[in-house]
Structure 1
């Protein structure tokens, strides 16, 4: 196994890596830096776009462009001119929240959650943006939404509320996008030193979670037991996605902002990392069909 610092981006809050198999390019965001970045598999051909608000996540659209979850809800983004157009703001009446982590399900719907800006109270919800641009609230009472992802067949949905230190699993109705039968999948309390952040599922159905403030990648078996721990060069890792031509490189984002009372962050914090030689492959990420 080899861990490479792919770009020294110094993202204030790097998040949401997304490998697009069509373009063979990696996208990721700087949530607090209000930016979207893109590069090739080796970190070259770098390009960036600015957005007007803090950004929680993004997905690519089947017909071109992207959907971004900003502080004020879901928006379209045109990569050609950088224009942002609002779709819907599901938390318009809540002053202290913003949209956060999100992903597209196998059927082309975008599921994204919100978070309390102060990361203290369960003020936020989890939402589904359907292809007709309607929005449905799936869950509530969330502090910080993170790590939405699906089993390879799309019938199990995984989701973390980071400050509860728990990852939940739901039965996922692939016809409607509704959540059913919530159950505890993994509990970081007493087992791991950090908190669950961004996540992905590999081709074998194992769940990978970024242990933020713990500096490790955690691979969970489908039954929720810990299968593997991979130490990273920084504690401030935030999210991950499999990519590269063979979907066998794990791209990992991190944040440069200090945390936990630290005055200074690690030298490589905020960089984008590539983990080679894990011996597993990921799954192609779907595009939003709306």
Structure 2
């Protein structure tokens, strides 16, 4: 088993979010964004000044992406919304699915500007969710009967997509059209991590094609080669690490969100960093997220 590299980073945000998720970074403004999904909060952190703001949301947001300098895309339990970056004003773009008991979860924008977004039951009901492809306002269901969609990310050339259903806990890969982000083949198992606790959560793919995965319940971020070989494990201060994002002017730093969801008072007392947001303290070869194309 790969040894765990001790945590040498720092805490970026002391707020203990119930379900910290969906981190992203805008290099144009040097700003990191992430959500507390169940708390209906959008966190904004200007890195160079350490200026922090928290925005209340009228829904459970889980994914944010740049559209242009004035607008952002937010995925939520009520569909996709366009957010005015300065005022925070929200405008409904499109409904993902008509299931009131569902919410959005993990997602990421493909290099072509299309969004892959997963949905799930608010209580993680078995097979209640799906994974969708959204091009502008056109929504296409890709995979059904998903319980907890996670690990959505794409290879640097845009020809491979990765995803998982955390309840199944197999990292999947599928060939996609680099021009559209739509699958051109059938998903196959890339890796079935065994030998330590926890589930595959959010992932991001770096400039070399390495897949950085937050391991919920194991207090680690694990790194996989494109062939599925696990090559490194990095410790996180919180047990329930949820999702990584590349940050900084060179995309060479790694932010990781976490959560205290599902913990009782005793478990939270034993895991005081649960729900906080961290920088891992290592140099990575990341890349910036593409903009969503309307």
Q: Which bin holds the TM-score, normalised by the shorter protein?
A: over 0.9
- 4+ runs of 1 displaced by more than 6 Å? none
Matched, 1:184 2:195: no
**Structure 2: how far apart are the matches of 1:43 and 1:209?**
28
Q: Which of 34, 44, 47 in structure 1 is aligned with 2:40?
A: 34
Q: Which of 64, 75, 78 in structure 2 is aligned with 1:69?
A: 75
Deviations 1:233-287 (A, max 9, x none): 110110001111221111000113343x664411111111001224x31011111
| Structure 1 unaligned residues grouped into runs of 5+ | none
Matched, 1:157 2:166: no
What is the CA-CA distance between 1:116 and the residue it aligns to? 1.7
**Structure 2: how far apart are the matches of 1:88 and 1:125?**
16
What is the CA-CA distance between 1:206 and the residue it aligns to? 0.6
Contact residue 6 and residue 42 of structure 1 kept, 8 A = no
Give the alignment of 1:79-98 within 5 angstroms.
79-92=85-98, 94-98=99-103
| Structure 2 unaligned residues grouped into runs of 5+ | 1-6
Q: Which of 276, 281, 287 in structure 1 is aligned with 2:285?
A: 281
CA gap of 1:3–1:69, structure 2 versus 1, over 3 A, is same
**Structure 1: how far apart are the matches of 2:190 and 2:40?**
32
Q: Which of 194, 200, 205 in structure 2 is aligned with 1:196?
A: 200
**Structure 2: how far apart are the matches of 1:193 and 1:120?**
21
What is residue 139 of structure 2 aligned with on the other side? 135
CA gap of 1:110–1:262, structure 2 versus 1, over 3 A, is same
**Structure 1: how far apart are the matches of 2:65 and 2:56?**
15
**Structure 1: how far apart are the matches of 2:272 and 2:49?**
19
> What value does the CA root-mean-square deviation take over the aligned residues?
1.7
What is the CA-CA distance between 1:289 and the residue it aligns to? 1.8
Deviations 1:136-165 (A, max 9, x none): 111111001112100111100001111111
**Structure 1: how far apart are the matches of 2:86 and 2:225?**
41
